[in-house]
Amino acid sequence: MRKVLAIETSCDETSVSIVSNSHDIYTIHSNIVASQIEDHSKWGGVVPELAARKHLELIPFVLEKALEESKISIEDIDAIASTVTPGLVGCLRVGSITARTLCNLYSKPFLGIHHLEGHLSSILFSKHYPKAPFLTLLVSGGHTELIKVGKRREMQRLGRSYDDAAGEAFDKVGRLLGLSYPGGPAIEKVAKKGNSSKFSLPKCKISDKDGGFLKYDFSFSGLKTAVLRLVEKINRNGDELPIPDIAASFERVVAEVLVERTIKCAIDNGLENIVVVGGVAANDTLRKMMIGEAYKKSIKVHLAPLSLCTDNAAMIGAAALFRLKFSAHESSLKLGISGRLPIDQANVLYEKNPPF
């Protein structure tokens, strides 16, 4: 049984987890997450400098609690991992330095993990996770991507958002409607009281150079602007803003766009399994719609556990455990951090000469 201590500090959650795997069964021994939502809610979004300072303050206590809860000593850990890209640079640095310092102190191997690979690895904690190849819809506050995953973690990005990620659109529309931060859970809650067919909102597409459209790509900026114009029009007319109806209509269109393009991508690439991960994967409308529409096409849908949809260190640990199957997948202690790195370049994190 391999055991990994994992650290996640890419944005506004300070998280440390102890995970293990044996015979392809992945187990969480502890997964401590200290959220900073209250610290950032007054600003309507994450303040990078504030987030980094909070990570520095919290990480010693989160680390201690994770080890205590797991009842596993750090001497018995086989490797230590942390998120090194993408994310907020100051935040990533806190987790990376902590992990590499522990590796030096306890003579443990280090694995630098791509944050998006962490999200797609959250499915490994499901009882019946699919065997590769499969298509992953990764949909969160900062990312909306369609990723084909191969048997040895070869990752090919087949679709992406060209502007706002779906989760970012939820946050911005939530602010327009005067709802609390983060916008995703707030919109989902109020949408349950609304009529999702009340307003017709656009399913924006990205044009290609041949005069057609990029069929697997996303754009949510235009949808957000359409909601803004709708709110302005209603306010000009002096009418009461039907927040539940607007929220429900917006949520429906986002789910439809994600589902339609994901299923189209899976069919065109001959993939029989779809994995849905990331913060927005917790949305009930999206989950039900994806399962229902995929069933009509004889495609199986695998959903990340609700507790692991948002940022957490257990998913980073799962990614590290999967990488440890292949002996060459160990990072240099000289590996730094980077705010951006495409998911299909994640293998460079395990080269002898670090990319950054």
The confidence score (pLDDT) of residue 44 equals 72
Residues 178 and 322 in one domain: no
**Among candidates 356, 307, 352, 355, which has minimal Cα distance to 331?**
352
Length of the chain: 356
Confirm whether 41 is domain-assigned: yes
Residues 93 and 146 in one domain: no
Residues 136 and 157 in one domain: yes
Cα distance from N-terminal residue to C-terminal residue, the chain: 32
28 located within any domain: yes
Q: Domain of 148: which CATH number?
A: 3.30.420.40
Q: What was the pLDDT predicted at 90?
A: 97
The DSSP bridge pattern shows strands 79-85 and 2-8 to be parallel
Spell out the per-residue pLDDT of the chain, length 356, in tens.
Answer: 999 999 999 999 999 999 999 988 999 999 999 988 777 777 777 888 989 999 999 999 999 999 999 999 999 999 999 999 999 999 999 999 999 999 999 999 999 999 999 999 999 999 889 999 999 999 998 899 999 999 878 899 999 999 999 999 999 999 999 999 899 999 999 999 999 999 999 999 888 888 889 999 999 999 999 999 999 999 999 999 999 999 999 999 999 999 999 999 999 999 999 999 999 999 999 999 999 999 999 999 999 999 999 999 999 999 999 999 876 679 999 999 999 999 999 999 999 999 99
| Residue-level pLDDT at 152 | 79
Asked whether residue 247 is assigned to any structural domain, the reply reads: yes
In this structure, the answer to whether residues 271 and 222 fall within a common structural domain is: yes
Query: Is residue 162 included in any domain, yes or no?
Result: yes
Task: Check if the beta carbon of residue 76 is closer than 8 Å to that of residue 20.
Answer: no
Examine residue 149 and state whether it is found in any structural domain, yes or no: yes
What global pTM score does this model have? 0.93
Coil, helix or strand at residue 83: strand
Same domain, 226 and 111: no
Are residues 334 and 281 located together in one domain of the fold?
Answer: no
Does 294 map to a domain?
yes
Is the same domain home to 166 and 285? yes
Please indicate, yes or no, whether residues 266 and 135 belong to a single structural domain of this protein.
yes
Same domain flag for 223 and 89: no
Supply the pLDDT for residue 216: 96
Do 104 and 203 have their domain in common?
no
Domain for residue 355, yes or no?
Answer: no
Same domain, 250 and 346: no
Count other C-beta atoms under 10 Å from residue 88's C-beta. 22
208 and 333 belong to one structural domain: no
**pLDDT confidence of residue 35:** 86
H/E stretch holding 50? helix 48-70
Instruction: Note the pLDDT of residue 39.
Output: 74
Q: Would you say residue 195 lies in a domain?
A: yes
- In this structure, are strands 2-8 and 13-22 parallel, antiparallel, or unpaired? antiparallel
Total domain count, the chain: 2
- Domain containing 41: what range? 2-121+311-350
